[in-house]
Structure 1
Amino acid sequence: MKIDTTDAKIVRLFTEHPRMSVLEASRQLGVARATVQARLDKLIDGGAISSLSPRLDPTKFGYSVSAFVSVRVEQGAGHANLGEFLAGIPEVTEVHTVSGDFDVFCRVVATSNADLQRVLDRIAAHPTPVRTSSSLVLTTHFENRALPAFEAAAEHPA
């Protein structure tokens, strides 16, 4: 998808002020309301913006523990059915099939270390994992940081 600096300014504005109206954005950017709306529609339809839903912070509703879990899967078992299984565990917030020593990489949240053990046991209950490895998150410096890459793409189109 081809984007430009106007797209980047619109996305930054809505990233920093997600409750802003399209009319207010047009005023702040000095462009027509229809321009802002058309650009947003283009970015949403093209998949560059995947969601306008709120970003949730699990620590604010009881999940103070966060961990990354690597899962090695039994060879030949496939990843799709494990992904579907993991989607049924509310504390699993991300799942990625990866290359390397492990096959699947997950981010999980828990209310305590004991609760993390419960989540890990639930992951291990599926028949395909042969090994898991966990790393507790001590500090998050940033996450979900796609805006700088989006702005760079606008400045240096491919």
Structure 2
Amino acid sequence: MSPRAPVDDLDARLLALLLERPQVGVLGASRELDVARGTVQARLDRLVQQGVISSLAPTLDPSAMGYPVTAFCTLAIQQQAGHEDLLSHLQGIPEVLEVHTITGDGDLMVRVVARDNPDLQRVIDLVVSTGVVTRTSTVIALAELMAHRTNALVGAAVERSPSVSGRSLTP
């Protein structure tokens, strides 16, 4: 017996529904998908446990919240310095949205938001204030051409699964 695919047809239909209408709820999803409420809840629980769904929280738009400037900062850090202290520092800055370790010229990629360019300078000054950062390079995003998306991954995961290929993803 082959291992179970992380996402099957019902999972994909559930994920597509939640991405389209996140407020649907478990009961609404069970009605839309024509499955038992307990089945929907069990699927959600499993998807959360497997890390497919990290949370069921709403997606917030920083721009609509008064932070229209998005920037990406590449940080080079002292090699003997641990990431833990710097990460703790960055977590204390509300305008820091993401931190990733990277390959290339820097060590970390940090996505930040700001109210305007002078505020961005304040945020960058906070980011580098620990003394651990040896070099930084910042680029400002001018326009978002494609927002963060995962919808296409749902369909692709199902298409790669031999047990469910060819089935429709429409709820």
TM-score, structure 2 as length reference: 0.86
Instruction: Determine what percentage of the aligned residue pairs are the same residue.
Output: 47
Match of 1:148 in 2: 152
CA drift at 1:21: 2.2
Q: 17, 28, 33: which one pairs with 2:37? A: 33
Q: Partner residue of 2:46?
A: 42
Unaligned runs of 5+ in 1: none
* Greater Cα offset, 115-124 or 26-35: 26-35
Q: Given that residues 5 and 155 in structure 1 are in contact (C-alpha distance below 8 angstroms), is that contact kept between their aligned partners in structure 2?
A: no
Amino acid at match of 1:62: G
State the shift of 1:97 in Å. 1.1
Separation in structure 1 between the aligned mates of residue 13 and residue 91 of structure 2, nearest angstrom: 34
**Corresponding residue for 2:168?**
none
Deviations 1:54-90, CA, capped at 9 Å, x for gaps = 1111111110111001001112213221111111111
- The amino acid across from 2:30 in the alignment is S
SS at match of 2:30: helix
In the alignment, which residue of structure 1 is the partner of 2:27?
A: 23
Name the aligned partner's letter for residue 41 of structure 2.
Answer: Q
Tell me, yes or no, if structure 1 residue 99 matches structure 2 residue 88. no
Alpha-carbon separation, structure 2, partners of 1:155 and 1:35: 22
Q: CA deviation at 1:32?
A: 2.0
Q: Between 100-109 and 19-28, report the one with greater CA deviation.
A: 19-28
> How far is 1:147 from its partner?
2.6
Q: Is the 8 A contact 2:16 2:154 kept in 1?
A: no
**Secondary structure in 2 aligned to 1:115?**
helix
Q: Give ranges in structure 2 of 5+ residues lacking alignment.
A: 163-171
Task: Indicate the larger mover: 127-136 or 28-37.
Answer: 28-37
- 2:65 maps to what in 1? 61
Alpha-carbon distance, 1:30 to partner: 2.0
Q: Which deviates the most, 136-145 or 83-92?
A: 136-145
Partners in 1 of 2:50 and 2:70 — Cα distance? 32
Instruction: Say if 2:143 is the partner of 1:139.
Output: yes
Distance 2:9 2:134 in 1: 48
8 Å contact from structure 2 (residues 99, 108) kept in 1: yes
Q: State the alpha-carbon separation in 1 of the partners of residues 151 and 35 from structure 2.
A: 21
Report the secondary structure of 1:68's partner residue: strand
Q: CA deviation digits over 1:8-50, x for unaligned, max 9? A: 1101101111111222212222222222121111101221100
Write the distance in 1 (CA, Å) between the matches of 2:83 and 2:104: 14
SS in 2 for 1:154: helix
In the alignment, which residue of structure 2 is the partner of 1:125? 129
TM (normalized to structure 1)? 0.93
Q: CA RMSD in A?
A: 1.5
Q: Is the contact made by 1:79 and 1:97 (CA closer than 8 Å) also made in structure 2? A: no
CA distance in 2, matches of 1:85, 1:21: 36
Distance in 2 (CA, whole Å) between partners of 1:119 and 1:2 is 39
